[in-house]
Amino acid sequence: MELERNELMGGAVVELLLASPPANIVTEKAIVELTAALRDLENQKAVKLVIIAGKGDHFSYGASVEEHQKPKVDWMLPKFHQLISTILELPIPTLARVSGRCFGGGFEVAMACSLMMVDETVSAGIPEVKLGVFPPVAAALLGALIPANRAAELILTGRNCDAAELSKLGLANEVAPKGKLFEVVMAFVEKNVLPQSASSLRHANRAARLGLVKRYRELIPALEKQYLVELMATRDANEGIAAFIAKRRPSWSNE
């Protein structure tokens, strides 16, 4: 198992932990387990919030680079995109509790949640361009969450953001001191989530996310096709992934 499930606050809150520390890599197995766990929660009427977090000091180093190689990527990427769709369309509000490293596919999971809370240790980014590829989910979502030019900057540079920048961009709803994130999240939940009707929260969450869901549904098929058919036919995309796995600098041919 690469996922742990915990019930908090009398079962009103369910915590799903990526549980392969320290890296908590978003592997195909983790994708399947997280998708199944989220779908299992849909009919549990008393659940008011789902928290997604990483076990240990880090949220996630990102998706498995090995699984981005041909031919694995052909079946892995659609499964990951379905996971993001499941998060976006889940009626129950979701909250990403993010500490430490939160990169690539891990950051895309976090940005797909209804809310994101971080602590001062966070370093988040989408470094795919450094591997010769691009992040389809971030390309679909990020421009709706932050100004388009800032989204383009993060996608094109692959640079990391600290807690202050995530807050300034509006991606982080709250920043907690180091070691205090769990307590801050629980205090927020107790004050703002528990008093509400679970049914009403689901309706409010669906309403709040309708535009983002529509955008994702419209964009992700074309982005997935661009990645699998066009990008993965280039030499540099395959070279970047191979170089990362071999722990060497990539040799770009610009083709």
- Is residue 195 situated within a structural domain? no
25: containing domain: 3-178
Q: Where are the beta strands (DSSP E) in the chain?
A: 3-8, 13-18, 49-54, 94-98, 101-103, 115-119, 123-125, 160-162, 174-176
CATH code of residue 104: 3.90.226.10
- Is residue 193 situated within a structural domain? no
- Is residue 230 situated within a structural domain? no
Q: What pLDDT is attached to residue 62?
A: 96
- Tell me the pLDDT tens digit for each residue of 129-175: 999 999 999 999 999 999 999 999 999 999 999 999 999 999 999 99
- Is residue 138 situated within a structural domain? yes
Mean residue pLDDT of the chain comes to: 97
Q: What pLDDT is attached to residue 246?
A: 95
- Tell me the pLDDT tens digit for each residue of 13-60: 999 999 999 999 999 999 999 999 999 999 899 999 999 999 999 999
Q: What pLDDT is attached to residue 138?
A: 98
Residue 70 confidence class, pLDDT cut points 50, 70, 90: confident
Question: Which of 202, 221, 220 minimizes the C-alpha distance to 210?
Answer: 202
Q: What pLDDT is attached to residue 106?
A: 98
Question: Which of 83, 216, 113, 123 minimizes the C-alpha distance to 173?
Answer: 113
Residue 1 confidence class, pLDDT cut points 50, 70, 90: confident
Q: What pTM was estimated for this model as a whole? A: 0.96
Number of domains in the chain: 1
